[in-house]
Structure 1
Amino acid sequence: MPLSTISLHDKQFAPYLTASQITAAVREVAASINRDYAGKQPLFVAVLNGSFMFVADLLKEIQLPCEIAFIRVASYEGTASTGTVREIMGLQEDVAGRDLIILEDIVDTGHTMKSLLELLQAKKPASLEVATLFLKPECLQHELGLRYVGLSIPNDFIVGYGLDYDGLGRNYPDVYTAV
């Protein structure tokens, strides 16, 4: 069944990526992590709220002993980044000496990820990497050395598969772009 345009608040969104395209990207990221962390027990640090679908699907594909922790930060209002990262729910686990992999739904400017990397690096993990489902390379303003990227996409505002527009749209299994 072909995807159709959706309406969220005052905006229209057109189909962009299907659930099967997303699944393929998630499986590729998981395969790379499974290979790179063989014999290790990583701690995944999921960035809420947007990453919840990516995290759930990715961890189903991880074939390693692992743990999951959650952190919540905010940097968006509406369709634009505020440039300021606010920590809403902090990490409770002791991460010193652990292999950490941050799980993020999307990296665009990189402000949020840069702040998270600095915050977590200060806690002295054994290693620290990032796995993001989406990367917007033309927006990126920081050198982050992202090791695991599902899909590089243009600088368009997207919703679905965990990503929202002022709270709406996270529930769609496909991804839509603003028109």
Structure 2
Amino acid sequence: MTLDLDDIRRVRAEADCLCTPAEVDAALDRLAAAITERFHDRNPLLYVVMNGGLVLAGRLLHRLDFPLEVAYLHATRYGHALQGTLLDWRVRPTQDLRDRHVLVLDDILDEGHTLAAIIDYLKSEGARDVQSAVLVHKLHDRKAYPGMRADFTGLDVADRFLFGCGMDYKGYWRNAAGIYALKGH
């Protein structure tokens, strides 16, 4: 299926801006301060969840002025299964996790099934503790478990179809500096 770039451009032009680039930068500063406070003396391993977490990592890492290691993983859930252990690993974690403090970076916590499964997997591989950081927490009650939140959250955003800052619309606009909602969704 070929996408019409004029349609892709129109989606961005008509979208509702929910968080400006300045608001995103302020959220990144808050995230960095909280993560630094928690991890500055723990030699953490940061796992970036591809593809959405790539933008968050790129914008966050230079704000973390302490020793850390960075790696990436890529996993998706099988179908609509509700059990968090059923992952389709595109790229599995490769570092030795035994006794490590691990921070998982992702763009958004929507329902959270994949993030919960990734965290469970990293713990099962021997990580001392596993925490999560997301730029966006989508506000709704359909989480993997009641009250689910990341350990570190930049922004709470309405339950709409979002793109920008790592989140995409049909593969596009991950590079948008703000957070946008598809018009009418």
Q: Same fold (TM over 0.5)?
A: yes
Residues 75-114 of structure 1 aligned to structure 2 (within 5 Å): 75=77, 82-83=79-80, 85-114=87-116
Residues 79-158 of structure 1 aligned to structure 2 (within 5 Å): 82-83=79-80, 85-138=87-140, 139-143=142-146, 144=148, 146-158=150-162
- Cα 1:170–1:127 shift into 2, 3 Å: same
Offset of residue 141 of structure 1: 3.0
Fraction of identical pairs, as percent: 24
Secondary structure in structure 1 of the residue aligned to 2:96: coil
Within 1, Cα distance between the matches of 2:179 and 2:40? 31
Partner of 1:79: none
Partner of 1:164: 168
Within 1, Cα distance between the matches of 2:109 and 2:149? 12
Within 2, Cα distance between the matches of 1:10 and 1:86? 33
The root-mean-square deviation of aligned C-alpha atoms, in Å, is 2.1
Within 1, Cα distance between the matches of 2:132 and 2:41? 19
Residues 42-61 of structure 1 aligned to structure 2 (within 5 Å): 42-61=44-63
Ranges of 4+ aligned residues in structure 1 off by more than 4 Å: 9-12
Partner of 2:24: 22
Q: Is the 8 A contact 1:131 1:147 kept in 2?
A: yes
Within 2, Cα distance between the matches of 1:175 and 1:113? 21
Q: Which has the higher strand share?
A: 1
- Cα 1:163–1:75 shift into 2, 3 Å: farther
Within 1, Cα distance between the matches of 2:97 and 2:45? 8
Q: Which amino acid aligns with 2:144?
A: Q
The gaps in structure 1 that reach 5 residues or longer are 1-5, 77-81
Within 2, Cα distance between the matches of 1:107 and 1:134? 6
Q: How many residues align?
A: 169
Q: Which of 71, 83, 86 in structure 1 is aligned with 2:73?
A: 71
Within 2, Cα distance between the matches of 1:75 and 1:121? 18
Partner of 1:41: 43
Q: Is the 8 A contact 2:40 2:67 kept in 1?
A: no
Within 1, Cα distance between the matches of 2:161 and 2:106? 16
Secondary structure in structure 1 of the residue aligned to 2:71: strand
Residues 44-94 of structure 1 show CA distances to partners (whole Å, capped at 9, x for unaligned) of: 000010111111111111011000010012359xxxxx5354221111111
The gaps in structure 2 that reach 5 residues or longer are 1-5, 82-86
Q: Which has the higher helix share?
A: 2
Q: Is the 8 A contact 1:83 1:111 kept in 2?
A: no
Partner of 1:3: none
